[in-house]
Amino acid sequence: MDEQNQGKGQCLCGAVGIMASNMNTQAGTCHCRMCRRWSGGPLMTVDCGTDVTFSGEDHITLYESSEWARRGFCSQCGSHLFYLLKEDGRYFVPVGLFDSEEQFQFDHQIFIDKKPSFYSFANVTDNLTEEEVFSKYLDK
């Protein structure tokens, strides 16, 4: 079973704070074109579930990136704050926002079939293709 933990962190400028009460410590990376365009490279996140609170909410800007998800970022510094699944309210938060990164273990990659050939991670991970991701998370 995946380890759960509390996580506390903030954006680059500190205008937005985050507290995840039941955060999974298994970190993953998304290689889809949208995440790479948003982050400038692969997006490394951790599943924080639905019990997430923010301070400085007036500095959070939402972007409706798809029918199934929205992305949040800090309107002051531009830090990526979360990827939020609309259907179940689960937050996926970039690991770099958290005060303590030592707790994370990189164990999975999604949209592996969309990963460009110019980079690779040395870690042995579970990998899901685009089709497998949509089947697991979006198909009813």
Q: For residue 3, what pLDDT is reported?
A: 60
Which tens digits make up the pLDDT trace of 21-38?
999 999 999 999 999 999
C-alpha–C-alpha distance, residues 74 and 15, integer Å: 8
Q: For residue 103, what pLDDT is reported?
A: 87
Q: For residue 4, what pLDDT is reported?
A: 67
Residues of the chain with pLDDT under 50: 1, 140
Residues 6+ apart with CB under 8 A from 105: 25, 26, 27
Domains and CATH numbers, the chain: 4-137 (2.170.150.70)
Do residues 75 and 92 touch, judged by C-beta distance below 8 A? no
pTM of the model: 0.90
